[in-house]
Amino acid sequence: MARVKKNKQLHPKHLFLNIVIALLAVVVFFLLYSFITNTLTDKPVDWTTDTPKNGEVSAEIIQLDVLNGCGASGVAQRFTDYLRKRNFDVVQSTNYKTFDVEESLVIDRTGDLEAARKVAYALGIEDKNIVQQINPDYYLNVSVVIGRDYEKLKPTK
């Protein structure tokens, strides 16, 4: 009896299952990579000023809003995520009144210049770009206006 040699082609059903398995493996790898990088690299900011003494824990909560002043899509959300991972209370993330801001600004809204400095330090914004616009109607400590220099700041490095 002669044996008939079968052509070794994958059945379409098996090919589809192999593609699904490969895609799931890529998704699992991406999630694992994201988890590892977020837990190892996105640590809360270590303040260089106003360090608690004798093991005290600072209970200060800095509330702020993030405003997109450069017009780049998604930049305010990226900065918001970055600040929230560092224990800042970002209340709102929206567009600024214009998109022509050259350098990013940190605006002190309540007279707490130290809070503004901490936000600026966390983002890599220079002290010369911290301004005070105290407004008793504002319930936020700080506003961050992201300028066209956003690529030079910490959230995008």
Question: Residue 122 belongs to a domain with what CATH number?
Answer: 3.30.70
Q: What is the pTM of this model?
A: 0.64
pLDDT digits (tens, 9 = 90+) for 102-138: 999 999 999 999 999 999 999 999 999 999 999 888 8
Report if residue 142 sits inside a domain: yes
pLDDT at 69: 97
Report if residue 139 sits inside a domain: yes
Report if residue 49 sits inside a domain: no
Please report, for residues 5, 8, 147, the alpha-carbon distance to residue 1 in angstroms, rounded to integers and kept in the order given.
13, 21, 81
Local confidence band at 24 (pLDDT 50, 70, 90 cut-offs) = very high
- Those residues whose C-beta lies under 8 Å from the C-beta of residue 102, and which sit 6 or more positions away, are 147, 148, 149
Report if residue 94 sits inside a domain: yes
Compute the distance between CA of residue 62 and CA of residue 89 in angstroms, rounded to an integer.
Answer: 6
Q: Alpha helix (H) ranges present in the chain? A: 12-41, 75-85, 113-123
Local confidence band at 51 (pLDDT 50, 70, 90 cut-offs) = very low
Tally of structural domains, the chain:
1
Q: Is pLDDT at 10 greater than 80 in this prediction?
A: no
Local confidence band at 57 (pLDDT 50, 70, 90 cut-offs) = very low
Local confidence band at 54 (pLDDT 50, 70, 90 cut-offs) = very low
Reduced to 3 states, what is the DSSP secondary structure of residue 141? coil
